[in-house]
């Protein structure tokens, strides 16, 4: 090991202490914070805590903001009360036969068209402009996989909209998920979205896949239809990202930014079944991530890196990555100056010998990340459960979509087993349940990885052929 590297590791060990990280976790995941739900008074307390820490560590507020806070305009969309769908001569009722995923109040009459799985290939064969599209849920050969069906829904809807369709009706037929569960989730609960976004075209899940009109539609490809949905309402929710900047020391590299991020919201308070505890403290998800961000800011405030660092604590990740989506639309630093996003997030840990780095193998930063973990006795592991699509379930996704190499540092995960599910989005996820002998190594490894990224002469890039490589070429083109 080179003397400079050894000195850095020793200094990280000196500055990043158990007392320091435990103090952050005890505050952020305390019962009094009531689960840091987006829109709650308690998440505002958490935001003030983070802004105070940014100030204490010498981070500067972005010039385009009035403070460390970036206001994020959100709305709570409350579901419709009534609805009726007609296909051919057959009627379907809201809740009994269909639920609404997107679209709010909606009135339409016209042509209903069947489009297979509504893949790009399926849609290219059809003229769907001005028509309501009916399609199988999920993708070909994946309709029995609940996660695949859920993950395919958004992209499928977007394809239909792009092709000119007025909406999408998916034929939902998953025996693993009872229909009353879907009704309760989509028809009895509000959903949060960005207030800056217009209502998307209507999107429904229809349970009556074997109805006569659906059979006729598959045979004839087209039938007359009508849809009326009413009673939906919208309530504004004010939220904020917390943003701070540490300017780099290198005259050239300081125009480039490493983005260190973590979401600071959780899921709040909820009474479930016979559980005595109703507070979802969110120690693992994601007070640990926020603590990793603060630990990085602490070290770099004493040892200024060559490259500038943008620290962002995102709101509303649990509501659909909304804080980072808003930031991607309203960056405080031009996105082309952001060369890497190293996000810190996770569901928990069931292997204390490693850190799981979601997307590590997809960028040229891989060797530095392995080195950072090894320095503190941990193995750097890649995503062990790709079927869970973890890469696209945290805030790094909204940077990656624009082309910024963006990955997530998470505690050691080998599978979503009983140990993970015991704490993931559960009241049991409290600070008292954490292993700090493991976590101190985890935090120090994350800090060291950020030190290496912020001081690298050449910024990391997506590896050739990656899904987001084309977006990166467009973002960083001369």
Report DSSP letters for 180-196, one per residue. Answer: HHHHHHHHSS-EEEETT
Helix (H, G, I), strand (E, B) or coil at 354: strand
Task: Look at residue 274 in the predicted model and tell me its pLDDT.
Answer: 67
Contacts of 155 (CB under 8 A, 6+ apart): none
Order the strands of the 106-114 sheet from edge to edge.
Answer: 90-93, 82-87, 222-230, 106-114, 132-136, 167-171, 202-206, 98-102
CA distance 444 to 372: 8
Between the CA of residue 236 and those of 214, 253, 318, 419, what are the distances in Å? 38, 41, 17, 37
Task: Look at residue 37 in the predicted model and tell me its pLDDT.
Answer: 98
Helix (H, G, I), strand (E, B) or coil at 381: strand
CA distance 401 to 236: 27
Task: Look at residue 150 in the predicted model and tell me its pLDDT.
Answer: 81
Determine how many CB atoms are found less than 10 A away from the CB of residue 89: 10
Half-sphere exposure (Cβ direction) of 190: Cα atoms closer than 13 Å: 14
Task: Look at residue 140 in the predicted model and tell me its pLDDT.
Answer: 79
H helical segments located in 91-198 = 120-124, 146-162, 179-187
- Which is it for strands 167-171 and 406-411: parallel, antiparallel or unpaired? unpaired
The Cα diameter of the chain in Å comes to: 79
- Which is it for strands 379-381 and 406-411: parallel, antiparallel or unpaired? unpaired
Return the CATH class of domain 80-231.
alpha beta
User: Is there a contact between 250 and 458 (Cβ–Cβ < 8 Å)?
Assistant: no
Contacts of 87 (CB under 8 A, 6+ apart): 112, 134, 211, 213, 214, 217, 223, 225
- pLDDT tens, position by position, for the chain (478 residues)? 678 899 999 999 999 999 999 999 999 999 999 999 999 999 999 999 999 999 999 999 999 999 999 999 999 999 999 999 999 999 999 999 999 998 899 999 999 999 999 999 999 999 999 999 999 998 877 656 777 788 788 889 999 999 999 999 999 988 888 999 999 989 988 889 998 776 778 999 999 778 999 999 999 889 999 999 999 999 999 999 999 999 999 999 999 999 999 999 999 999 876 678 999 999 999 999 999 999 999 999 999 999 999 999 999 999 999 999 999 999 999 999 999 999 999 999 999 999 999 999 999 999 999 999 999 999 999 999 998 889 999 999 999 999 999 999 999 999 999 999 999 999 999 999 999 999 999 999 999 999 999 999 999 999 999 999 999 999 999 8
Task: Look at residue 70 in the predicted model and tell me its pLDDT.
Answer: 98
Per-residue pLDDT tens digits for 305-343: 999 999 999 999 999 999 999 999 999 999 999 999 999
CA distance 95 to 36: 31
Task: Look at residue 149 in the predicted model and tell me its pLDDT.
Answer: 83
Run of H or E residues at 329: helix 322-329
Spell out a b/e string for 398-412, using b for 16 or more CB atoms within 10 Å of the CB, else e: bbbebbbbbbbbbbb
CA proximity to 289, closest of 252, 321, 264, 266: 264
Does 452 sit behind a cis peptide bond, omega within 30 degrees of 0 on the bond before it?
no
Contacts of 125 (CB under 8 A, 6+ apart): none
Q: Where in the chain is the domain with CATH 3.40.630.10?
A: 3-76+236-475
Q: Where in the chain is the domain with CATH 3.50.30.30?
A: 80-231
Residue positions counted in the chain: 478
Residue in the structure block whose two tokens are 């600071």: 264
3-76+236-475: what fold?
Aminopeptidase (3.40.630)
CA distance 427 to 463: 40
In the chain the first and final C-alpha atoms are separated, in Å, by 37
Task: Look at residue 275 in the predicted model and tell me its pLDDT.
Answer: 75
Contacts of 132 (CB under 8 A, 6+ apart): 108, 110, 111, 112, 113, 165, 166, 167, 168, 169, 225, 227
Task: Look at residue 124 in the predicted model and tell me its pLDDT.
Answer: 94
CA proximity to 72, closest of 196, 212, 179, 204: 196
């Amino acid at each position: 090991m080179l003397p400079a590297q050894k000195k850095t590791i020793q200094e990280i060990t000196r500055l990043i202490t158990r007392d320091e990280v435990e103090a952050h976790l005890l505050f952020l995941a305390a019962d009094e914070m009531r689960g840091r739900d987006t829109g709650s008074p308690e998440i505002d307390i958490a935001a003030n805590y983070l802004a105070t820490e940014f100030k204490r560590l010498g981070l500067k507020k972005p010039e385009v903001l009035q403070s460390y806070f970036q206001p994020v305009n959100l709305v709570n969309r409350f579901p419709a009360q009534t609805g009726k769908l007609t296909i051919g001569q057959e009627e379907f009722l809201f809740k009994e036969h269909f639920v609404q995923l997107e679209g709010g109040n909606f009135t339409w009459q016209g042509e209903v068209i069947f489009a297979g799985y509504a893949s790009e290939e399926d849609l290219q064969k059809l003229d769907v402009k001005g028509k309501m599209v009916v399609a199988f849920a999920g993708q070909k050969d994946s309709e029995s996989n609940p996660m695949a069906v859920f993950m395919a829904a958004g992209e499928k809807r977007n394809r239909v909209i792009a092709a000119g369709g007025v909406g999408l009706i998916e034929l939902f037929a998953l025996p693993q998920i009872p229909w009353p569960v879907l009704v309760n989730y989509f028809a009895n609960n509000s959903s949060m979205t960005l207030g800056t976004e217009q209502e998307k075209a209507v999107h429904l899940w229809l349970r009556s896949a074997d109805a006569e009109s659906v059979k006729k539609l598959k045979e004839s490809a087209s039938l007359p239809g009508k849809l009326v949905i009413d009673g939906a309402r919208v309530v504004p929710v004010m939220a904020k990202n917390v943003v701070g900047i540490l300017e780099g020391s290198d005259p050239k590299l300081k125009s480039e930014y490493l983005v260190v991020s973590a979401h600071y919201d959780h899921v709040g308070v909820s009474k479930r079944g016979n559980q005595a505890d109703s507070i979802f403290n969110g120690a693992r998800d994601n007070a640990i991530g926020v603590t990793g961000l603060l630990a990085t800011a602490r070290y770099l405030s004493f040892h200024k890196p060559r490259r500038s660092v943008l620290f962002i604590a995102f709101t509303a990740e649990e509501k659909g990555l909304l804080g980072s989506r808003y930031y991607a639309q309203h960056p405080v630093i031009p996105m082309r100056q952001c060369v890497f996003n190293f996000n810190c997030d996770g569901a928990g840990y069931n292997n204390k010998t490693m850190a799981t780095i979601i997307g590590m193998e997809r960028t040229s930063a891989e060797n530095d990340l392995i080195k950072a973990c090894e320095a503190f006795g941990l193995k750097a592991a890649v995503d062990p459960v790709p079927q869970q699509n973890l890469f696209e379930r945290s805030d790094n996704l909204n940077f990656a979509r624009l082309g910024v190499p963006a990955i997530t540092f998470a505690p050691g995960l080998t599978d979503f087993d009983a140990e993970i599910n015991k704490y993931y989005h559960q009241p049991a996820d409290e600070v008292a349940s954490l292993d700090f002998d493991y976590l101190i190594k985890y935090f120090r490894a994350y800090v060291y990885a950020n030190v290496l990224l912020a001081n690298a002469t050449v910024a990391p890039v997506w590896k050739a052929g990656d899904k987001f490589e084309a977006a990166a070429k467009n973002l960083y083109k001369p």
